[in-house]
Amino acid sequence: MLAVALIVILTVKCSLTEGALASNSSIDRKDRNREMSLQRLQALRALMSSQRPVLAAYIIPTADAHNSEYIDAADARREWISAFTGSAGTAVVTSSQALVWTDGRYYTQFEREVDLSAWTLMKQTLPDTPTLEKWLASNLKDGDVVGVDPQTMTRDEWTPIQTALKKISAQLVPISNNLVDDVRIELGDPAPKRSHNELAPLHVRYTGRTAGEKIAELRRKMAEKKASALVLTALDDIAYTLNLRGSDIEYNPVFFSYLIVMETNVVLYWGDGQLPPSVTDHLREEGVDSVEGKPYGDILEGLKEMARELSESGDGRHVIWLSNDANEAIHRAASGSDVLKRPIDLISEVSPVKLAKLVKNEIELQGFRNCHIKDGIAVVRFFRWLHDQIDGGEQITEVQASDKLLEFRRDEKDFMGPSFGTIAGSGANGAIIHYSPDREGQQTVIERDHMFLLDSGGQYRDGTTDITRTRHMSGNPTAEQRDAFTRVLKGQIMIGSALFPKGVKGNVLDSFARHALWEVGLDYGHGTGHGVGHYLNVHEGPSGVSWRPYPDDPGLNVGQILSNEPGFYKVGEYGIRHEDLIEIVAVDKGSDHPKAKNLRGDYDGRGVLGFSTLTLVPNQRECIDAEIMTDFEISYVNAYHRRVLDTLSPILKERGLLKDLEWLEGQCIPITRK
Amino acid sequence: MLAVALIVILTVKCSLTEGALASNSSIDRKDRNREMSLQRLQALRALMSSQRPVLAAYIIPTADAHNSEYIDAADARREWISAFTGSAGTAVVTSSQALVWTDGRYYTQFEREVDLSAWTLMKQTLPDTPTLEKWLASNLKDGDVVGVDPQTMTRDEWTPIQTALKKISAQLVPISNNLVDDVRIELGDPAPKRSHNELAPLHVRYTGRTAGEKIAELRRKMAEKKASALVLTALDDIAYTLNLRGSDIEYNPVFFSYLIVMETNVVLYWGDGQLPPSVTDHLREEGVDSVEGKPYGDILEGLKEMARELSESGDGRHVIWLSNDANEAIHRAASGSDVLKRPIDLISEVSPVKLAKLVKNEIELQGFRNCHIKDGIAVVRFFRWLHDQIDGGEQITEVQASDKLLEFRRDEKDFMGPSFGTIAGSGANGAIIHYSPDREGQQTVIERDHMFLLDSGGQYRDGTTDITRTRHMSGNPTAEQRDAFTRVLKGQIMIGSALFPKGVKGNVLDSFARHALWEVGLDYGHGTGHGVGHYLNVHEGPSGVSWRPYPDDPGLNVGQILSNEPGFYKVGEYGIRHEDLIEIVAVDKGSDHPKAKNLRGDYDGRGVLGFSTLTLVPNQRECIDAEIMTDFEISYVNAYHRRVLDTLSPILKERGLLKDLEWLEGQCIPITRK
């Protein structure tokens, strides 16, 4: 799945799979939207006027309280107020204006969905568009007050707006009631209830480390920083730490919660605070003895209370550690800034759990390798099926293909669900980078003369997969398509076969993936690689491979998982992307790596890193132009296909899937130059 | 010259060529240093105690008031107080401790030069070493006051220290008298007088744009930002704007000054404020009518006065624009923070002159191309001479070689002097990245079986050169040396031949230069490219090519000049570096570029950029292993050598330098595989 997401969420939250396409009902929807939109805006403006002080502007980000990439319907406030369904965007409402800042993926969609007589689109990717804070600073006046729900903004987002407003003697104030939620109640359309689904313990045979061990390690780090408490707010951080999984957010096996780790106890804010025996038993078994449950909604009061207690404890100064992506309300509550004369000091930096889960342990890595075998079987079976259908004259739509793929994945052990919404783009749809086929409206059939781009993934108890393969359905691509397909593959190989010093940041690798494309004036508009969680979010920070450095990237290290997914998109015609997940491995002269034997140094002791490819599905031979590949690249592809075949064929045989085996064998015949 | 400098000066100032080597007199020097060092420290501590409030610590950066890379003897305060002569480092003195933070290049030198009973070395490149601000925060107490001369610290350096101290309720205060200067006077060893040498106008036939045009452009930008004044503090910014050159700092044709541009007049703070007729005539001719001279030393008072006047002018709010690398004292004075109740607003961001001079105009580019022809002649003559001497059994030392090279450059029209201290490293000296041969002490002879690394450059009225060539003096390198030489060359070619989208930042290219080395576990510990001024500083921001992004890099564009200088260094044995200057050019299908004809796109309208190599000196054929090069790389090298020969040979012929011509012809014979 596309790496661009993780980059974009550095500034705005973004979900890749939400951008719904136009359907036949869009015109009706728009009329309805217009009426509702005005009514909603009027109600919000009335509420803004009734605040004391009166709000000159109210900001509505696309965000939940956990800085999640995917948000729950309960948090879709910007969508409700503006009718704009895109996954990224920030709305600002003043007494006379209403605006949404969003990026280039959504300009057309915005104009289709939104009442443009009430709302203004701020095209944030254009150089002349003022940033939100600049716009506020030039449209408000001395003494104006801007409100925002401080749970929907991280401190890093809050600070520049506050600074810009201060300069014009205006101010940004936290409004603890979310005004959009209040308007929804007032208009009889309350926000859906937040999910608090059941929790499922994940056994140490999958996680490799008990919750007790993980918490002990956190406490060691807290001791180094002299922190009295560590406040975890990112949902995947909490799921990882406790070896628990949930299902509150689609595709992400996480659950709404907060976790506070202290020297001798931990407090889990979840649901109504009643932890079921399955959870307390699991935690006890994993060596976490003292766990207190508190209601999810009490987190801010709980933090204030903790700040007050620490402050009054009389045993010297205390420090509380929280993640730099914790929201502004959490920052304020944890420091006790509203309740204490002298607030508690905060350490606000990248969460230690983010850094811990970035580097997978050996059990997690084995799980990743294993689930990629299962996922390879499913995807191979799917493609064999799809070619069979289309060759046999069947009309298969993108949605039907996605559903069939899910069926094949369901056959695999420990499969828990898709890791994101499948991107199945046939022909011109493949060139829409954030495409996802819509179940409603007209369906696109995968034609025999189409390039078909399929980006999908699975959640397994032993790991998470994310794979993109692009195939020409009749195996007869145009010369131009073959050239582009091959150049994208060359880029993927240049990453996959790269050696590099331990500790360099992911961004230094990005250009390798683009080199073969850049040589002929082609490129792609997304990053090259994102981190992947272990049966957790398919996009996981803080490392990644993009032209922009990831600010909290601690440097690449053995045991990290990245995607390797260059692409090329010809708008209106076709899209190509090749995506593997890759594991970072240490390489020396004796390693099983194609470049190992030539090693003459280890970068002066820093150590040599390389990649091992986890994904096990061949690339379509007919689309590869061996004439523009080096000898090394040809042998690299052939060795990879050999490995795919050697790994998958015994399983296919054992399961009696002989037609699939035969198909796979044909796919893995070595490529050669003419 | 090495790109690392520009990277390092992002945090500490650094001059590459100052690191003097140990000489025989170093032991005597050390004893003398010890005695002096203690006396100097005692005097400084006494002065710190006599301040009101008393200073708990005093910080002495390596810096002048202009954030210059090379500093004048008048500003070498850290060197004087500590006896440590390295070009980079920051000293902190408390009542009981004295420390210097410096980087890995200088650890050995520090221990050799400095009285270790009085001074502590803080190895800032080690992960366990606390930063200066962290050390202060954990070694000082509530209420402590730390002093620093605010002219020796940029605001960007000031702020994190101030923030760290605030956290422990200590404070950072500006001390307007430099205490080291005061101690020097007290001990009868006053700092040398600052140079204020003559100014030389640079004719528009060299600069391509008059000072009047440049100032008009600045005023347009000021109008956009509604800035009442633009304060220029970087010496090369001022020299560029006024088309004047000076000689106050070695190798850099700049002059100590400040320039304030206002709507209708400009004020030049220089010398005693009396501008000579040659300067005023030049500026008048170039369309700058209203220039006021003021004494250099009056800048802070002048800025405060301006702030006061603007504040009292009664015509609304004013903004002053200064460069983000202006020092803290300038920031304070410009805002009038000491004299006004409501200080003037500042825009503190990258200077518009930095961005203007980054992109060379067509006249400057022609000058660059032209001076590289002249420089090529000089360097070719030098290498022919050097091989002749060594082949003839002469003992040539590194210093003699450097002097001879200067002689050859002096023969060229408009040559004004070296652009930096020549790095002439034979054998193991070539592996010392910041080596410069010392005239004192034992001299290193360039042996016939040595690799010899020569990094040098010239200032010409029409441009600045910077070239490194590495040669094996007998033409018989070891297999390992040939392999490394060739891999460095492959890296240089991968940069030199790269195509990339307009606007990408320089850092995205860095890994291309390392790829062939990384493949075998080798690397080099410096950046790959730095910007170069036009008859200005050989290191010029704000762009460059390194694994770390340059924070103010506006993106690469046509007309920029960069160095392209990968290397490899085997400590104790040899060093290899190949350095060309390269010009960024636009490339399309019709361009004279080796990859032009394959272009199929222009990156969706962004535009295709590539490089044209300015430097014209062949690489040594005997050191190139064609077996590990691709066909493209071999033809690239041969085409380059053909161009060198075609360009230089008519000139050598015309000047009757037939032996040089013959030698060059031999160097340019095409390379082939066996």
Which domains can be identified in chain A, with CATH numbers?
A: 29-187 (3.40.350.10), 200-357 (3.40.350.10), 359-667 (3.90.230.10)
Separation between Cα atoms, residue B414 and residue A8, nearest integer Å: 51
Contact B561, B581 (CB under 8 A): yes
Across the interface, whether the CB atoms of B504 and A547 are under 8 A apart is answered yes
Cα B68 versus chain centre, distance = 8
Which residues of chain B lie closer than 8 angstroms to A499, CB-CB?
A: 518-519, 521
**Chain A partners within 8 Å of B519 (Cβ):** 499, 595, 598
> Which among B508, B510, B600 has CB closest to A522?
B600
Query: By C-alpha distance, which of A205, A233, A259 is closest to A535?
Result: A205
For residue A528, the cross-strand partners are none
Give which of A354, A361, A360, A356 is closest to A551, Cα–Cα: A354
Q: Which residue of B has its CA nearest to A498?
A: B519
* Structural tokens at position B252: 């850099």
* B602 touching chain A per CB within 8 A: yes
Best to test chain B binding among A335, A511, A598 (most B CBs inside 10 Å): A511
pTM, full prediction: 0.94
Q: In this predicted structure, what is the pLDDT of residue A11?
A: 32
A29 part of contact set with chain B, CB < 8 Å = no
- Check residue B314 and give its pLDDT: 74
Q: Are strands B463-464 and B458-460 parallel, antiparallel or unpaired?
A: antiparallel
Tokens in use for B123? 């190895």
Name the residue among B510, B602, B604 with its Cβ closest to that of A508. B510
pLDDT of residue A317: 78
User: Token pair of A649, please?
Assistant: 């064929």
Q: Is B549 on the interface with A (CB under 8 A)?
A: yes
**pLDDT bracket for residue B17 (50, 70, 90):** very low
Closest CB from B549, B598, B600 relative to A549: B549
Half-sphere exposure of A87 toward its Cβ, with a 13 Å CA cutoff? 22
Chain A, nearest residue to B597 by Cα: A520
CA distance B475 to chain A (A): 23
Query: Residue A19 and residue A432: Cα distance in Å, rounded?
Result: 10
Does B34 contact chain A (CB < 8 Å)? no
Decide if B523 and A547 are in contact by the 8 Å CB cutoff. no
Report the C-alpha gap between B478 and B480 in whole angstroms. 5
Min CA distance, A263 vs chain B (Å)? Answer: 23
* CB within 8 Å: A599 and B512: no
* ipTM above threshold 0.85: yes
* Residue B515 with chain A: CB contacts under 8 Å: 498, 512
Contacts of B11 (CB under 8 A, 6+ apart): none
User: Before A53, cis peptide (omega within 30)?
Assistant: yes
d(CA A490, CA A629): 7
Which of B480, B519, B608 comes nearest A499 by C-beta?
A: B519
Between the alpha carbon of residue B279 and those of residues A489, B195, B293, B357, B604, the distances in Å are 61, 18, 11, 21, 48
Q: Name chain A contacts of B345, Cβ cutoff 8 Å.
A: 167
Paired residues of B531 in beta bridges: B540, B562
Helix, strand or coil for residue B639? helix
List phi, psi (to 5°) of A536.
-145, -155
The two three-digit tokens of residue A657, written as one number: 């899937």
- Is the CB of B518 inside 8 Å of chain A's CB atoms? yes
Q: Do B345 and A480 touch (CB under 8 A)?
A: no
User: What pLDDT, in 10s, does the model give residues B398-433?
Assistant: 999 999 999 999 999 999 999 999 999 999 999 988
What's the DSSP call for residue A106?
Answer: G
pLDDT digits over A52-75, tens only?
999 999 999 999 999 999 999 999
Q: Which of B187, B244, B184, B193 is nearest to B214 (CA)?
A: B244
Q: Are strands B319-323 and B229-232 parallel, antiparallel or unpaired?
A: parallel
CB of B586 within 8 Å of a chain A CB? The answer is: no
Pairing of the two strands B229-232 and A463-464: unpaired
Q: Do B386 and B404 contact (CB within 8 A), yes or no?
A: yes
State the Cα–Cα distance between residues A319 and A307, nearest whole angstrom. 9
> What residues contact B426, with CB distance under 8 A and at least 6 apart?
B398, B444, B445, B446, B447, B450, B451, B452, B453
DSSP readout, B15-41? -TT--PPP-TTHHHHHHHHHHHHHHHH
d(CA B457, CA B453): 13
pLDDT score, position B323: 95
pLDDT, mean of residues B63-69? 97
B324 neighbors B234 (Cβ within 8 angstroms): no
Distance CA B622, CA B474 (A): 9
Query: A508–B511: do the CB atoms touch at under 8 Å?
Result: yes
Q: How far apart are the first and last CA of chain B?
A: 34
Rounded distance, CA B567 to CA B493, Å?
Answer: 13
Residue B16's pLDDT band (cuts 50, 70, 90): very low
What pLDDT sits at residue A314?
A: 74
Contact between A511 and B508 using a beta-carbon 8 Å cutoff: yes
Q: What is the pLDDT of residues B500-549, one digit of tens each?
A: 999 999 999 999 999 999 999 999 999 999 999 999 999 999 999 999 99
Q: Considering only CA atoms, which of B567, B571, B569, B573 is closest in space to residue B488?
A: B567
Helix axes B479-496, B510-518, angle to 10 degrees: 150
Tens digit of each residue's pLDDT (9 = 90 or more) over B279-298: 999 999 999 989 999 999 99
DSSP labels for B57-124?
Answer: EEEE-S--TT--SS--GGG-HHHHHH----S--EEEEESS-EEEEE-GGGHHHHHHHS-TTT-EEEET
Decide: helix, strand or coil at residue B316: coil
Distances (CA, A) of A40 to A89, A120, A450, B291: 18, 16, 44, 60
- CA torsion A479-A485-A491-A493 (nearest 10°) is -110
Q: Do B501 and A511 touch (CB under 8 A)?
A: no
Contact call for B601 and A520, based on CB within 8 A: yes
User: Residues in chain A with pLDDT < 50?
Assistant: 4-25
State the DSSP H helix or E strand holding residue A569, giving kind and residue range, or none if neither: strand A567-570
pLDDT exceeding 70 applies to what percent of chain B? 95
Tokens of A176: 């603890």
Q: With CB atoms and an 8 Å threshold, state whether B518 touches A507.
A: no
Strand arrangement, sheet containing A98-102: A120-123, A98-102, A90-94, A57-60, A145-148, A171-174
Is A568 in CB contact (< 8 Å) with chain B?
A: no
| Terminal CA-CA length for chain A | 34
| H/E stretch holding A174 | strand A171-174
Q: Do B599 and A549 touch (CB under 8 A)?
A: no
Among chain B residues, CA nearest to A605? B521
* Residue of B138, B167, B519 to mutate for A, most A C-beta atoms under 10 A: B519
Interface test with A, best of B603, B608, B633 (most A CBs within 10 A): B603
Give the Å distances, CA to CA, from B600 to A480, A484, A570, B596, B603. Answer: 10, 10, 12, 9, 9
CA A150 to chain centre: 23
Q: What is the CA radius of gyration of chain B?
A: 26
* DSSP, res B596: G
The pair of structure tokens assigned to A285 is 């078994």
Does the distance separating the beta carbons of A167 and B521 come in below 8 Å? no
Chain B residue with Cα closest to A571: B604
How far apart CA B620 and CA B640 sit, in angstroms, is 13
Does the pLDDT at position B211 exceed 70? yes
Q: What percent of chain B has pLDDT over 90?
A: 88
Euclidean distance between CA atoms B242 and B510, whole angstroms: 34
- A339 vs B664: CA distance, rounded Å: 80
